[in-house]
Structure 1
Amino acid sequence: MSVVSGVTVSVPATTANLGPGFDCIGAALTLYNEFKFTRLQAGGLMIHVTGAEALRVQTDESNLLYQAFLKLYQYIDQTPPSVNIEIQLGVPLARGLGSSATAIVGGLVAANQLAGAPLSELQVMELAIAMEGHPDNVVPALLGGCRLAATSNTGWEICDIPWHQDIVPVVAIPDFELSTKEARRVLPTEVSRADAIFNTAHLGLLLRGLQTGKGEWLQAALQDKLHQPYRQALIPGYEAVNAAAVAAGAYGMVISGAGPTLLALVNAANSQATEVAMATAWEAAGITATVRSLSLDTQGAVFT
């Protein structure tokens, strides 16, 4: 087996939950982090980071990307090589767009390639889920597309969710952060039977709405009773941005992952108007936001 001297991995951002799909559904988006690993002959670890938030990324062994890299070598019981890591940031940190998932997936995929690909894609995915704690971000980050993850008697079952070509995801990324820990802290430990039934019905409708692009179904399907009602208060201007997006023609708006990024699903014809409306609404609340129309990434993590 030939020794690979280096590998570059590109990993897409993700949006999790999509309203009623709490902790089980996620979609990959056309926004990327890139990680380049090169073997070092002299030993040690070097990490260089570029991008808008580069100074906030750890450059020692505590770096999450490197921790994932080590995790795979520990799993296969091999000594990890010394590496130089170059990180190009394109996914905002702590904004609900899966930045930690890109690091976990990027580190595992890079390690697997440098080790000669001893693990299957399924094994890499299971390691990623174990590190992240839930599948909604890491699964689409690795595989691409929109994915539903469910446990089975033998592990995980991953279902590809068809996404109609006319549905455009518009992300509104504010200039403030919201930690996943804080977003989970506000959630109740128990929910009513009525709320559980509500989400079950709306998740089923969401899957059909995404497949068909039927606006009436999507308008109803994006509602949720398990997490968004509790998290909205953590996001200043939420109601105003939601109202503006819907008035501009969006099918609806949800919290992307744990937030604070907000995601609107729109028809392509209304995407630009929705961008302007969401940015304007947040600006009126004194918040600067970057608003972009993206597409569904269908490739997931790609390495060269």
Structure 2
Amino acid sequence: MDKKIIIRVPATSTGIGAGINSIGIAFGLYYTVIVEEEMDHWQVNHALGDDVPRDENNIIVQTILKVDPTIKPHQLTVMSDVPIGRGLGSSTTAIVAGIKIANALGNLDMSLDDEINAGSKIEGHADGVASALLGNITVSYFNGKMATTVKTDIPEVINALVYLVKDDGTHDKAIYKDEVSSVDAVKASSATNVLVASLMNNEWTKATEMMENDAIYTDNIYDIVPELEVIRNQAHQLGIYGTFLNQSQRSVITFGTSSQLNELRNALSDSNLTGIMRLIKVDHTGATVRGE
């Protein structure tokens, strides 16, 4: 390899509205991997904590070798502002980085569809992988073998207020109903259909209303994640819609303009919320590769 390869992958969130394992979005927090010299063994340099392997057991390396087992070991340096275990796709970013690295080092000439398929097979669903690779909001279907994805643009003025739920061990309960009645199934399906149609037709107001459809959540969802009710109610008082619970239940996310979200953040300052709030942009580009 004559020069370094730099991979940058955006954070993602999934489970928008009733779009479980199908609708994802990319955010402007990034996981960056620098591919350096070839070595006798894999070495992954990072400051992500001792729980993250620094050798061939790292998820990046495991992904590279799943895509192409013949790729020789290299030194990799990782820099990331994607929080680990907070519902923003930290593992997805590593998987996508691994696919991009395998494609570059192995000269595989993979298309974006090929990369989405590869990542979907590893993750078991396509939503996060598709959004990380393509940016913006994606809607995906995965049958276990092949993924089909459609990307749509979010208005440039729209950002997100992300509330990172404090990890106190109480947010691991099931948030979806074990059994969904036919009435709730129709509500969820209809809301998701309108959500997707609104996104595709750039009718953002309708889309944000549909994001708040809770037909498949358990009836006690606000008891499990009380922050969702607090943030949603405060947002509604300000005329802001589009607050949803991330599929991992680690983040509560609200869409809006910068001025709206700053107003919401200020209003929530007296709500005794114990987690962290971050105002972040939507990523419109997806994963990038430099230096090939």
Scaled to the shorter chain, the TM-score interval is 0.7 to 0.9
Deviations 1:46-73 (A, max 9, x none): 11113xx434422232221121111111
Matches within 5 A, 1:275-294: 275-281=265-271, 284-285=272-273, 287-292=274-279, 294=280
Distance 1:177 1:12 in 2: 26
Gaps of 5+ in 2: none
Q: Which moved more, 1:192-201 or 1:220-229?
A: 220-229
The equivalent of 1:81 in structure 2 is 72
- 8 Å contact 1:97–1:257 — kept in the other structure? no
- 8 Å contact 2:15–2:24 — kept in the other structure? yes
Instruction: Choose from 125, 129, 133 the match for 1:142.
Output: 133
1:91 aligned partner, one-letter code:
V
- 8 Å contact 1:47–1:86 — kept in the other structure? yes
In the superposition, relative to structure 1, how do residues 23 and 48 fare at CA in structure 2: closer, same or farther (>3 Å)? same
In the superposition, relative to structure 1, how do residues 195 and 276 fare at CA in structure 2: closer, same or farther (>3 Å)? same
Q: What is the TM-score when the length of structure 1 is the normalising length?
A: 0.84
Distance 1:109 1:214 in 2: 32
User: Does residue 1:28 correspond to 2:26, yes or no?
Assistant: yes
Structure with greater helix share of residues: 1
The equivalent of 1:239 in structure 2 is 229
Matches within 5 A, 1:1-304: 3=1, 5-41=3-39, 43-50=40-47, 53-74=48-69, 79-151=70-142, 155-176=146-167, 182=172, 185=174, 187-210=176-199, 211-215=201-205, 218-227=208-217, 232-281=222-271, 284-285=272-273, 287-292=274-279, 294-304=280-290
Q: Report the aligned-residue RMSD.
A: 2.7
Q: How many residues align?
A: 289
In the superposition, relative to structure 1, how do residues 153 and 82 fare at CA in structure 2: closer, same or farther (>3 Å)? closer
Q: Which moved more, 1:214-223 or 1:102-111?
A: 214-223
Deviation at 1:152, TM superposition (A): 7.1
- 8 Å contact 1:95–1:178 — kept in the other structure? no
Q: Which moved more, 1:267-276 or 1:107-116?
A: 267-276
Q: Percent identity?
A: 22
Q: What is the TM-score when the length of structure 2 is the normalising length?
A: 0.87
Q: Which moved more, 1:155-164 or 1:15-24?
A: 155-164
Distance 2:83 2:144 in 1: 36
Question: Does the residue aligned with 2:139 lie in a helix, a strand or coil?
Answer: strand
2:121 aligned partner, one-letter code:
A
In the superposition, relative to structure 1, how do residues 28 and 45 fare at CA in structure 2: closer, same or farther (>3 Å)? same
- 8 Å contact 1:206–1:222 — kept in the other structure? no
- 8 Å contact 1:16–1:137 — kept in the other structure? yes
